[in-house]
Homo-oligomer: A and B are copies of this chain.
Amino acid sequence: MFSKKAITVLFSVFLFTGVSGQNITAELQKLKMVFTLNKGGVPVYSVSYDQKPIIQQSTLGFILANNDNFYSNFEILGSEKKSIDETWKPVWGEVNEIRNHYGQVTVHLKQVGTNRLLDIVFRVFADGVGFRYEFPKQPAVKYFIVTDELTQFNLTGDHKAFWIPGDYETNEYPYATSKLSEIDNEELVEKSTAIAVRVAPDRYAVQTPLMLKTDDGLYINIHEAALVNYSAMQLHVNDSTYQLSARLVPDALGNKAYLHASFHTPWRTIIVSNKAEDILASKMILNLNDPSAIKNTSWIKPMKFVGVWWEMQTGKGTWSYSDYPDSADAHGKPIPNGRHSANTANVKRYIDFASKNGIKGLLVEGWNTGWEDWFGNWKENVFDFVTPYPDFDVKEISNYAKAKGVEMIMHNETSAFATNYERQMDTAFRFMNQFGHKAVKTGYVGKIIPRGEHHDGQWMVNHYLRSIEKAASYHVMIDIHEPVRPTGLQRTWPNFLACEAARGNEYNAFSDGNAPEHETILPFTRLMGGPMDYTPGIFKLRNYTADKTRRVHTTLAKQLALYVTLYSPLQMAADLPENYEAHMDAFQFIKDVPVDWDDTKILAAEPGDYIAIARKGKESNNWFLGAITDENARQLTADLSFLDKNRQYTATNYADAADADWKTNPEAYTIKKMVVNSTTHLLLKLAPGGGAAVSIVPR
């Protein structure tokens, strides 16, 4: 799916040896990067936007195993520049065509004394800078181990930051908003007991994508792109200098990466704009990933799905068939608890619902044996991925779903026992092929085996990618829960539809939940790397569990708006059929909203406050608009000038009722139709914790 529409290559080579101290620059429009060596021969770079410094001189380099200095005594051997301007078409996404326009400079370095070579490649886009390290094939560097990557981001002030703790195992924290100088994750880690496994040894470390806002209104996003065969980068924050420094997630032995030259690291990315909307519109991270590795992508199809899932999250049913492990009746058969949700009759009920409402997919969790004793024991063999519980008739269900036009989504919870899953992966995917599952949701809840490895370390990063590649080889789409956060790899592996790696809607089921601002921060942070399986669409927002304090911290209209504001090619309609059946007029929006788009307009956005986005359906003239707010009521005026000129549309506005409020009256909504056109300025009134979802269809 790579189309070269226009490529301009300006190629120039400067070769000079033994000279250091000179500046090497790359720039495009308002962005400029300057590279140089400081007097110790340490590589440093800086970035400015519209002539304002964004990143002050910051070091680059490594410490390799055995405290081996690979960060100073460098000299510049030369550098090369080129520029690229091309467009390409994603297999699916927010837009149907993406421009990839950058100026690149490759700096060739040699370490004096060791004669080791290191290249650093910078790409400067209109909306940011990406750079990576490249270790060329060379006699002096073959196999090597990274002890530390010394990349810094020296910020210019005490910016406002939207952050979660730098935890080796999880991204499922609620977001904190504070000055850089106030970042301290200790309390947040300690009180986040709803997250099963938390390992955050550095209280001043945060995850990326890190969203920042400067006092003078610049938005800066720091992350990485194309994380392959390397551990995830976290950022240590210095509270007085505002220096961020890379912290790679270690393995069991404290090492960060085992490498073999030639090798290149992931891209370190800095996206900058004076408009928050531009951050959300940026395609820089996708552009820094490789084109699709899958040639025939015809089997990859975005979809919506329902699931036998929320009823277990809310305690109506159970994943497990029995109430305790190894139960056995007089005949040696396991003793049913009578509350097992993944039973044939109940699954058929969901199939009927999906079929009737044109929802393509159905996820069923708890279908396979092992759930009596699956969590928290760090044992290696939990699930086999092919053995159903006695009340789950896999053949009957498969046939029934097929007859009703519904695609079953397989569920493979690994309990984080990656070694076990790798042993059984082929068997699991053959099973999916056999029974016609075209997608799988995998999960990694718990402490990792191999023991001592972390969710975000190199070994697991490679494991997730192996699972994606394996899925691709069986023509199966994949949705990974509890992995490392994404870095744009969905471009290269478009069967990697979505992942979790953040705090999803589910936290409203089993914890204090997500603050009303949560979904206004996610697109600026976690979603910068790729789509999330957030599981929106909860209609029954209170009294869904035995614990009456549990609630969803949004209005119903906001749940609808999330289908537009939280982009994913895989979107769940997460609530129970009976809860949808009580509001079929509102459910109409979920039925109508696409999961693949030809165009996207970020209408308004401010992290932590509000987001409004309009999107045009794939090969369609229908537009869908979603607007959400935080805990504050808000009015937004949407300029519909993106609509075709001279065309009239029917807008259906699924809005908060006048008296709606996430706290007191969350399920109050109104549905109003009106005629609009490209000159319309549509007033959207958002309740506290509210939102609006609008379909705009040509008349």
Contacts and interface: CB of A to CB of B under 8 A. Distances in A.
A426 interface: yes
Interface string A397-431: 00000000000000000000001001101100000
Classify the secondary structure of A's interface with B: mixed
A251 B452 contact: yes
B450 A419 contact: yes
Contact of A452 (B260, B423, B452): B452
A426 B380 CA distance: 19
Contact of A143 (B260, B377, B419, B425): B377
A252 B450 contact: yes
Nearest to A427: B426
A162 B258 CA distance: 39
Contact of A451 (B253, B426, B466): B253
A78 to B, nearest CB: 25
A258 B452 contact: no
Contact of A377 (B253, B255, B260, B419): B260
B379 A260 contact: yes
A464 to B, nearest CB: 14
Nearest to A376: B143
Contact of A453 (B255, B423, B450, B462): B450
Interface string A110-153: 00000000000000000000000000000000110000000000
Interface residues of A, number: 24
Contacts of A255: 451
A452 B378 contact: no
Contacts of A453: 450
A251 B258 CA distance: 20
Q: How many copies does the complex hold?
A: 2
Contacts of A451: 251-253, 255, 258, 450, 459
B143 A378 contact: yes
Interface string A430-470: 00000000000000000000111100000100100010000
Contacts of A459: 450-451
Contact of A379 (B251, B258, B377, B379): B258
A419 B258 CA distance: 15
B253 A452 contact: yes
A28 to B, nearest CB: 36
Nearest to A260: B379
Nearest to A419: B419
Interface string A198-210: 0000000000000
A216 to B, nearest CB: 47
A379 B450 CA distance: 16
Contacts of A260: 377, 379
Contacts of A253: 252, 451-452
A378 B377 CA distance: 29
A251 B379 CA distance: 14
Nearest to A448: B450
A378 B422 contact: no
Given A426-B426, A450-B453, A452-B251, A378 B419 contact: no
Contacts of A426: 426
Contacts of A143: 377-379
A181 to B, nearest CB: 35
Interface string A346-381: 000000000000000000000000000000011110
Nearest to A258: B378
Interface string A247-281: 00001110100101000000000000000000000
Interface in A223-261: 251-253, 255, 258, 260
A471 to B, nearest CB: 14
A449 to B, nearest CB: 8
A451 to B, nearest CB: 6
A255 B419 CA distance: 18
Nearest to A255: B451
A141 to B, nearest CB: 13
Given A260-B379, A426-B426, 7 more contacts: A143-B377, A253-B452, A258-B380, A380-B462, A423-B423, A423-B425, A450-B452
14 contacts: A142-B377, A143-B377, A251-B451, A251-B452, A252-B252, A252-B450, A252-B452, A253-B452, A255-B451, A258-B378, A260-B377, A380-B462, A419-B422, A450-B459
Interface of A: 142-143, 251-253, 255, 258, 260, 377-380, 419, 422-423, 425-426, 450-453, 459, 462, 466
Lowest 9 CB-CB distances: which A-B pairs, in order? Answer: A450-B450, A252-B252, A252-B452, A143-B377, A422-B423, A253-B452, A452-B452, A251-B451, A253-B451
